[in-house]
Amino acid sequence: MIPVFEVIAVRALALDVGEKRIGIAVSDPLGVIATSKMALVRTNKAKDLVTLVALIERSAVGLVLVGMPFSLSGGEGPQALRVRQFAEALETEITVPIRFWDERYTTVEAERLLRERGVRAKKLRAQVDSFAAALLLQEYLDAQRRLEVTV
């Protein structure tokens, strides 16, 4: 008899945590397609956390994916430490798990793709953070599907 594996889909929310904005993207309920949602303009840590907790609860997500800005060598620099500390603070406020995912080049790729689509420089800043979060999330979702196929 061949074992049957049940694939359980989970809606995920991705965060691209920056100094000025937090790019946010969400997956569809099946965990297949990532969509950019918004860029949260940062005010202070407490207010940012309250906003994110409310968004996570409203979106009925089962996973929060946080982009980790590793250095080119794969290490964690000062920005990665700030992101990790922010994620740890968020983790104390929510009941869903947080996972980290390498976000190197997502912002550069998001800018390139938006320019190719004709987005002008003035609107680019407003869209790039959430679009980078969507790229990060899509990469994660695709990797999870590849793992399911090899099982």
CATH code, domain with 126: 3.30.420.140
Residue among 61, 143, 138, 132 nearest 94 (CA):
61
Q: Which span out of 62-66, 124-128, 141-145 was modeled with the highest average pLDDT?
A: 62-66
Indicate whether 126 pLDDT > 50: yes
For helices 106-116 and 121-150, the axis angle rounded to 10 degrees is 120
Angstrom distances, CA of residue 121 to CA of 17, 114, 125: 21, 9, 7
Indicate whether 2 belongs to any domain. no
| 1 is a domain residue | no
Q: Do residues 70 and 104 lie in contact, with contact meaning Cβ atoms separated by under 8 Å?
A: yes
Q: Which domain holds residue 77?
A: 12-150
Please report whether residue 128 resides in a domain. Answer: yes
Q: 4 versus 12: which is more confidently predicted?
A: 12
**Is it the case that residue 76 has pLDDT exceeding 60?**
yes
Q: How far apart are CA 35 and CA 129, in angstroms?
A: 12
- Output the pTM of the full model: 0.84
Q: What confidence score (pLDDT) does residue 1 get?
A: 47
In a domain, 49, yes or no: yes
Q: Into how many domains does the chain fold? A: 1
Mean pLDDT, residues 64-74: 86
CB atoms within 10 A of CB 81: 11
Spatial contact of 20 and 31, defined as CB atoms under 8 Å apart: no
